[in-house]
Amino acid sequence: MLIVHRLLQQVVRGNLDPRDAAARAGSAVRLLGAAFPSEPYHDTTTWPACARLLSHVLAATEHAERFGVEPAERSRLLARAASYLHGRARYEEAKALFQRALSLAGVTFGPDHPETGVRLNDLGFLLLRVGAPAAARPHLARALAILPDDHPMVATILDNLGQALHDLGDLEGARLQLERALAIKQTLLGPHHATVGITIANLGNVLRDQKDLAGARQHHEQALEIIETALGPDHPYVGITLIFMGVACRDFGDLAGGRKHLERAHTILRSTLGPAHPRTRRAGQRLAELAQPSEGPAEASWGDGPMPAQPPLP
């Protein structure tokens, strides 16, 4: 990798003809768009590459913005960089980039274009993760209104909207949206795709809050089997589902089963996401709760979810 001192970079840029500078800025954005991993939120193995490229993405998109070039590619590239930061739980940085990507999409493609709808979902899901479902809901509802019924992201947005309604206390509304999402995913992807398992897990969380503990446990068991088979035993989504399973076991009074699932969840998430990640810390907190007396089902927390609605194809 070639490294050029910043002062030399400034001298070179200062001596460039504006047209040449604009062309080079556009080329840099296109090259980075080709190099930056396409699914960084879901694939933790890409994080080292994302970390190396992130500063270049930020610099290149700033230069390209100055010259007004490659707005569509900038929007997509910023969204990918934001997805990486989202996965790393660097939420404020991710939010800023998602907002820039959404603004660019709205101007470049138009407010009713599917690309804008996808960017709205990106920002809405991040808002869910930081515990702001009221702010997430209008972004997700708008995204759903924009996209045609046959768009591949519709089921994902329904899933995310269901989670927003769940967090806002509308359990029946949440269940309806999640059941719609599940039906679409099962039709398009089959019953054993990882994203089908994710929606089943999210439905289990709704059932849990509706006091259907048996139904919740059954959904989490089914989700764990699907996700582990599709993505492998050490994927972080397996760890997240194991947190749900551990809590379900606790709700049933099965403390030994709960401990087994939560210990495995903590091991997987510590290895894949790191010890400081909110998911890893949450698994540890749930483990600690098992040692405390409980008078009923454990309280729900955004730290247990939401579950990402669309993982990569296995």
The residue written with tokens 């820039």 in the block is: 100
Better pLDDT: 37 or 14:
37
The residue written with tokens 């039709």 in the block is: 187
Query: pLDDT tens for residues 96-131?
Result: 999 999 999 999 999 999 999 999 999 999 999 999
Rounding to the nearest 10 degrees, give the CA dihedral for residues 78, 80, 81, 83.
Answer: 120
Q: What single letter denotes the amino acid at residue 257?
A: G
| Domains (range + CATH), the chain | 50-190 (1.25.40.10), 191-314 (1.25.40.10)
Encoding tokens for residue 86?
A: 């989202």
Number of residues that this document lists for the chain: 314
20 CB-side CA count, 13 A: 6
Closest Cα partner for 58 from 85, 78, 39? 78
Q: d(Cα 138, Cα 167) in Å, to the nearest integer?
A: 14
Q: What is the pLDDT of residue 290?
A: 85
> Is residue 301 over pLDDT 50?
no
Instruction: Write a three-state SS string for 189-218.
Output: HCCCCHHHHHHHHHHHHHHHHCCCHHHHHH
Q: How far is CA 34 from CA 31, 112, 230, in A?
A: 5, 26, 27
Query: pLDDT tens for residues 200-258?
Result: 999 999 999 999 999 999 999 999 999 999 999 999 999 999 999 999 999 889 999 99
Q: d(Cα 237, Cα 164) in Å, to the nearest integer?
A: 19
Q: d(Cα 160, Cα 23) in Å, to the nearest integer?
A: 39
Q: What is the pLDDT of residue 252?
A: 87
- The answer to whether 164 touches 124, Cβ cutoff 8 Å, is yes
This prediction has a pTM of 0.86
- The answer to whether 145 touches 151, Cβ cutoff 8 Å, is no
Q: d(Cα 94, Cα 129) in Å, to the nearest integer?
A: 11
Sequence-distant (6+) residues with CB within 8 A of 21 are 13, 63, 67
Q: d(Cα 78, Cα 207) in Å, to the nearest integer?
A: 36
